[in-house]
Amino acid sequence: MSVAAPIYCPALFLTAPASNQGKTTITAALARYFSQRGKIVRVFKTGPDYLDPQILAQASGQPVEQLDMWMAGEEYCQNSLYEAAKNADLILVEGAMGMFDGEPSSADLAARFGIPLVIVMDVKGMAQTAAAIAHGLATYRDDVTVAGLIANRCGSERHAQLIRDALPENLPLLASLKRNEEISLPERHLGLVQAAEVKEELETRFNKAIQWLQDTQDTDLLTLPTAIAFYPVMLETEKTEPLLADKVIGIARDAAFSFIYDTNILALESLGARCVFFSPLKDKHLPEVDALWLPGGYPELHTRALSENQSMLIDIRVFHQANKPILAECGGLLYSLESLTDLTGQTFPMLGILEGQGAMRGKRGCQGMQTACLPQGEVRAHAHHRSRSENTPEPIGHGRRQRHSAPGEPIFQRKGLTASYLHLYFPSNLTAIAKIFSSAASIDR
């Protein structure tokens, strides 16, 4: 229930008919364009995603949050938008997949929060058909508002004119963006390359992207949209108690382990924990901590360095033998196994605090939304990996898939270790998270 007057802020929701239409590139370009003009731009990314938010945070100079009603809850999302609107001059939301894909979809989110949609479409190889697709998307449901079309990878002004003339009057062409490979964002096997690895290159691409936007013959995209109302909400979820008061949690963070939601760190801090960061790649020893979080990332790209850092491996093994809490997610799970075979086929010893071997498997992988069914409680999560683990022990349970009855990812617990391919979204169940990171999580199986 709303408890105060709304705050008004310009906002746009960038969506598309499918993936790989250029949403992230255009969202980043818009964020940099307006931030360079002194505007505070807050960007949200729908669904579970670690890589796009890194790019968007660098482009905007502001933190980027996930916006997903299934993972976080409707009220949590509403409150996040309201808090952003307090200081922002513009809110941008980047959708995932196609406009109506997923549960909830981009259209569902836009409809719920009243944010006008902008359709981003790669128009290479079509003209009037692009207008027909955009018109179909805009009229498919009557509870969404579509502000216009961005024609990406447009071949010429004549190409743009054909699309412009075919669009209905109430669906304008906001921008016609020329084909330009110099502004495309670098990718690898799980998606975009991490921003920290290509920071200077990204700056060059952002600067070129601003000129790319300004070269369009249609300039409506370069003016702030109409402000819309964002309403506060009294969160009725569990009251945050300092269940982790005086606990120090060590979080692995470096080029190998970086799939970390900022909201997860804030969740730990709201529970009273103090978070410190360390690098399994470069640091020789663990910091003095009460619990460990080994998040996902790209350990498969750093197998030799991880394996050769013997003093760190020994410290974590001793920590585990002391029955202290460890949460290992996806890449952290691979690090916890006895060995990991990388993309080149080379195998290296890892921590060995969980039986089994990990190996990369090329382009085939697993992804999707799941609920982690833990003894400590259910936590919303997702999976996204292109590896396999073999000869692992009997799991204590499996994730529950959002839209399929088959068992999800296996979940393991040994002493204080909780390990799975699942990436947990901490705010979905703070009590369960507190138990995982406290002595209550220690289960000797």
CATH no. for 7-230: 3.40.50.300
Rounded to an integer, what distance in angstroms lies between the CA atom of residue 426 and that of residue 380? 8
Active-site residue (options: 9, 77, 330, 373): 330
At 263, give phi and psi (nearest 5°): -65, -25
Query: Quick one: average pLDDT of 275-290?
Result: 97
Write the CA distances from 310 to 247, 256, 297, 349, 353, integer angstroms. Answer: 26, 16, 20, 10, 14
| pLDDT, tens digit, 9 for 90 and up, residues 155-182 | 899 999 999 999 999 999 999 998 877 6
- Angle at which helices 199-214 and 51-60 pack, to 10 degrees? 70
Q: Which residue's structure tokens are 């079509």?
A: 126
Query: Quick one: average pLDDT of 247-256?
Result: 96
Look up 366 and say whether it is catalytic: no
Query: Quick one: average pLDDT of 183-212?
Result: 67
Give start-end residues of each CATH 3.40.50.300 domain in the chain. 7-230
- HSE of 294, CA atoms in CB hemisphere, 13 A: 32
Give me the pLDDT at residue 1, please: 41
| pLDDT, tens digit, 9 for 90 and up, residues 313-329 | 999 999 999 999 999 99
* Distance of alpha carbon 117 from the chain centroid: 20
Give start-end residues of each CATH 3.40.50.880 domain in the chain. 248-441
- Whole-number average pLDDT of the chain: 90
Mean pLDDT comparison of 107-116, 186-195, 375-384, 404-413, highest-scoring range: 107-116
Q: Which CATH number fits domain 248-441: 3.30.460.20, 3.40.50.880, 3.40.50.620, 3.40.640.10?
A: 3.40.50.880
Which helix (DSSP H) or strand (DSSP E) does residue 202 occupy?
A: helix 199-214
**Encoded amino acid at 79, one letter:** N
Among residues 205, 125, 132, 213, which one has the least CA distance to residue 175?
213
pLDDT band at 211 (very low <50, low <70, confident <90, very high): confident
| pLDDT, tens digit, 9 for 90 and up, residues 113-145 | 999 999 999 999 999 999 999 999 999 999 999
Among residues 267, 272, 278, which one has the least CA distance to residue 247?
272
- Tell whether the model's pLDDT for residue 355 goes beyond 50: yes
Give me the pLDDT at residue 218, please: 78
Query: Quick one: average pLDDT of 30-43?
Result: 96
Mean pLDDT comparison of 179-188, 195-204, 225-234, 273-282, highest-scoring range: 273-282
The answer to whether 376 and 436 have CB atoms below 8 angstroms apart is yes
**Encoded amino acid at 327, one letter:** L
Which tokens belong to 312? 């760190």
Any bridge partners for residue 120, and if so which? 150
Query: Quick one: average pLDDT of 379-403?
Result: 89
Which helix (DSSP H) or strand (DSSP E) does residue 307 occupy?
A: helix 303-308
Give me the pLDDT at residue 137, please: 98
Give me the pLDDT at residue 204, please: 83
pLDDT band at 193 (very low <50, low <70, confident <90, very high): low
Burial class (CB in 10 A: 0-12, 13-18, 19+), 91: buried
Give me the pLDDT at residue 127, please: 96
pLDDT band at 445 (very low <50, low <70, confident <90, very high): very low
pTM (two decimals):
0.84
